[in-house]
A and B are shown apart, each in its own frame.
Chain A
Amino acid sequence: MNATTIAEGVRRGELSARTLAEESLRSIRARNDELNVFLHVDESGAMAAAERVDDTVSRGLDPGRLAGVPIALKDNLCQVGVPTTCSSKILEGWRPPYSATVVDRLLEAGAVPMGKTNLDEFAMGSSTETSAFGPTRNPLDPTRVPGGSSGGSAAAVAAAMTPLALGSDTGGSIRQPAALCGIVGVKPTYGLVSRYGLIAFASSLDQIGPFATNVADAALLLEVIAGHDPMDSTSLPEPAPDLVAHLDDGVAGRRVGLVRELIDGADDEIVESVQRAADVLRAAGATIVELSIPELHLGLSAYYLIAPAEASSNLARYDGVRYGLRVDADDVTAMNEVTRTAGFGAEVKRRIMLGTYALSAGYYDAYYGQALKVRTQMIDAFRRAYRQVDLLVGATTPSVAFTFGSKTNDPMAMYLSDVFTIPTNLAGEAALSVPFGRGEANLPIGVQLLGPGRSEAQLFAAARVLEAVERGS
């Protein structure tokens, strides 16, 4: 059952939130040992939240737009009292003293958080293989990765443990796992969703967004979590946009750019899906314009200096003083060093090193400074494209889900998994991945739709057009 149907049933008193939570717990227990999706299942918290919803309904009050809908939370989102690790040993055992704004909004809307899902350590990775607590397996083929970094949240939805999940997307960490797991994933406009309570990786790129089995559920979830938050100084000033109301707007009269750089280097089966998606949008009344945006090729280089630079600064706070792991030593500097050395995994250390180097005296202008200028060029290039077209279409990933270990020895090969998703984060714009077509071994393919800031309603409407054809076939 999808989230929209569940919430309607619970609000009408026809479904019990408690029963739904119990069903979700059964689904989680059935496959969690095999797939390693949840790091922590919050059974008591979920049952308490569900009972509050049922109680609200029985008193004749409105329990909210996500009443009784079980949801999974990526384990870099703080929920008061619930263990939050970022899949890192350095935070093992930590229980946040406050909740993320998105978690508060979910609870106000009657959603039922079931627990915390696995991710690449501190969201640094594209496969969940860098998690300190073992990788998550793709529910569609457990010999393959679910993608990352929000691989646990994507797998929770793909395995029908929960109809909804939240992830975070810094360079593709929602869209890429959504594509690899055959579900919908959205990277909202930077600032649309409050980052308060999201443990920071790269603050100028991070954005929280939804996973769902279908476009309408993703739009509903985004409406609930979006809107200004005074606790995040980068939060956009306006309230949440209307998204659900525009789901059936279609694409008639829209101009959609088919971008060469967003399919270059992808497997043939992926390129075919993107071209078929363009044909479907054309048949629905859109004009397809073939475009080249050469600046997109620089995205990967800029990202892998900017994101590690910001991360090296953000992760300086893990020093063994205020929370998390401490390894004892004679003086405070030695304690900082042995704590960080024991607490961080190899990928996190690699990115801290890269970022520290890019920011260090003598290299700042050549690396970090140059990357920030390329970021300006990326933003200008997108703006030029959006003067010609309303939306862009391309691939989400270069390939379908890959097998474990196939990219772990070569960081650059892993980073290339995000080549099509990174430019949107650098530009602060919006994009989503919608399942469209199947590839090797019948694994799902994701098509990416991209738009300027605040274009989510148009993106969802276009994704609905693709979804309707995908479901009909």
Chain B
Amino acid sequence: MSELTRAEVAHVAKLARLRLSDDELDLFTVQLAKILDHAADMQSLDLADVVATAHPYGLINVVRDDVVRPSLERDEVLAMAPDAEDGRFAVPRIMGEAP
């Protein structure tokens, strides 16, 4: 079995901005370990000389001319946001108490 621990799963949940219940932590620890175990067939391969492929045809930068083009209407976009104010997205406070 993979050596994935419950504490590691809890840490990953924090990185992923998810709050898992105790039951979910237990379940995911078992399930993720099982999936990682399946990946053990890759771990045993010596691929030191193989180049990694992140994209089937190799990503190259695609650029366009730097000219102004129509974009989405701000009001239409903000109308779909959970909260908006003064033409901007609004969120709860991001730091301590406001001065």
Residues of A within 8 A of B (CB): 94-95, 97-98, 190-191, 204, 230, 233-234, 297-298, 300-302, 304-305, 312, 316, 319-326, 328-338, 340-341, 344, 346, 349-350, 352-354, 356-357, 360, 366-367, 369-377, 379, 411-412, 415, 426-429, 453
Task: Give 25 pairs: A residue, B residue, CB < 8 Å, sorted on A.
Answer: A233-B61, A234-B57, A298-B41, A312-B16, A322-B89, A326-B83, A329-B92, A330-B92, A332-B92, A332-B93, A332-B94, A335-B91, A337-B18, A340-B16, A340-B18, A341-B20, A349-B18, A357-B8, A360-B12, A360-B15, A367-B36, A370-B42, A370-B45, A373-B50, A377-B50
**Chain A contact residues: helix, strand, loop or mixed:** helix
Cβ contact of B56, chosen from A190, A300, A325, cutoff 8 A: A190
B53 touches A97 (CB 8 A): no
- Seen from chain B, the residues whose Cβ lies within 8 Å of a Cβ on chain A are 4, 8-9, 12-13, 15-20, 24, 28, 31-32, 34-36, 38-39, 41-43, 45, 47, 50-57, 59, 61-62, 64, 72-73, 76-77, 80-83, 89, 91-94
Chain B residues within 8 Å of A326, by CB: 82-83
Measured CB to CB, the nearest residue on chain B to A379 is B53
Q: Is the CB of A374 within 8 A of B42?
A: yes
For A367, list chain B residues within 8 Å (CB). Answer: 36, 39
B55 with A234: CB separation less than 8 A: yes
Report how far A370 CA is from B12 CA in the complex, Å.
Answer: 20
Known contacts A349-B18, A371-B42, A373-B47; is A94 also within 8 Å of B91 by CB? Answer: no
CB distance A353 to B17 under 8 Å? Answer: no
In the complex, are the beta carbons of B57 and A190 less than 8 A apart? yes
Chain B residue numbers with a CB within 8 Å of A340 are 16-18
Query: Please, which residues of chain B bring their CB within 8 A of the CB of A366?
Result: 43
Cβ A98 vs Cβ B72 within 8 A:
yes
The distance in angstroms between the C-alpha atoms of A352 and B55, with both chains bound, is: 20
- Using known A-B contacts A352-B18, A372-B53, determine if residue A234 contacts B12 with beta carbons closer than 8 Å: no
Q: Return chain A residues, CB-CB under 8 Å to B47.
A: 370, 373-374, 377
